[in-house]
Structure 1
Amino acid sequence: MYRANALYRFDQLIGKQYMQGHGPENTSEDEKRNRQIANLKMVNEILKKYVEMEKELRKSLPA
């Protein structure tokens, strides 16, 4: 979705499809931006954990 520039889908509830209006109409731009920021923070945390796990794995493997 992100690569397809379908950022409006971040505002959709899980299991809901808004093909016509591209998401709830009552959502302000600030709310949309805040949701996107929260989503990106979550992705960032996941990536940090992955990097840390990869470092630990590399330490435990014989050289």
Structure 2
Amino acid sequence: MSALDPRTANRGYPKSDPTHYGSDDASRIAQALDMVDGDVKAVLDAVENAEILALALGS
């Protein structure tokens, strides 16, 4: 594997290395998808909690 560790600018998700074949980066892509999944769940949980709070406060 390359000494480079390409990452996205905002969330630091692992990116594939353009010098590798796709199969070489399969674990990086899987890791990135797991990280995105966790972030999406956190956003959805926050939205759900905000909705519950708004209902509780009668907004």
TM range (shorter): 0.5 to 0.7
Unmatched tracts of structure 2, length 5 or more: 1-7, 16-23
Are 2:9 and 1:43 equivalent residues in the alignment? no
Runs of 4+ with >3 A deviation: 5-8
- The RMSD of aligned alpha carbons is 2.5
Partner of 1:33: 29
Q: How many residues align?
A: 44
Note closer, same or farther for the CA distance 1:44–1:6 as it changes in structure 2 (3 Å cut). Answer: closer
Overall identity of the aligned pairs, in %: 9
Unmatched segments (≥5 aa) in structure 1 = 11-27
State the TM-score, normalized to the length of structure 1. 0.56
Q: TM-score, normalised by structure 2?
A: 0.59
Aligned partner of 1:56 among 41, 44, 52 = 52
Inter-CA distance 37–47: structure 2 relative to 1 (3 Å threshold): same
